[in-house]
Amino acid sequence: GAVVSQHPSRVICKSGTSVKIECRSLDFQATTMFWYRQFPKQSLMLMATSNEGSKATYEQGVEKDKFLINHASLTLSTLTVTSAHPEDSSFYICSARPTTQGYEAFFGQGTRLTVV
């Protein structure tokens, strides 16, 4: 089946630094990828939709200058949390929509970010 891999699975960074999370579709091409965030004991929140070769579309209330998204190829999207603060600590999950299908279907395992 289709596999989406996120890296790293866990990361701890210092406040004020930036951290990059990678989302790769391993055995299919994904024109569109999605980035989600999950706060403790809360449900997932879609942050942005990333389309290969173009700018990401951010959901209302998400700071695009803080959460930089790059989708440079059909198998890789990256999320960079810039100038991280403790309140950015969260679980970040990506999903990838196969180019040959009409709806998002495959999720990564997620990345636990802790900002200290």
Partner 1 sequence: AQSVTQLDSHVSVSEGTPVLLRCNYSSSYSPSLFWYVQHPNKGLQLLLKYTSAATLVKGINGFEAEFKKSETSFHLTKPSAHMSDAAEYFCVVRINTGGFKTIFGAGTRLFVKA
Could you list the residues that contact partner 1 (CB under 8 A)? 4, 42-46, 49, 57, 59-60, 93, 95, 103-110
Least distance to partner 1 from the beta carbon of 74, Å? 19
What is the number of residues in the chain?
116
Least distance to partner 1 from the beta carbon of 73, Å? 21
Lookup: tokens for 83: 């100038």
Judged by DSSP in three states, 36 sits in: strand
Q: In this complex, which beta carbon is closest to partner 1, that of residue 58 or of residue 115? A: 58
Q: In whole angstroms, what is the distance from residue 73 CA to residue 34 CA?
A: 14
Q: In this complex, which beta carbon is closest to partner 1, that of residue 77 or of residue 84? A: 77
Least distance to partner 1 from the beta carbon of 46, Å? 4
Q: In this complex, which beta carbon is closest to partner 1, that of residue 6 or of residue 78? A: 6
Lookup: tokens for 90: 């969260």
| Burial group, residue 112, by CB count within 10 angstroms (0-12, 13-18, 19+) | middle
Least distance to partner 1 from the beta carbon of 57, Å? 7
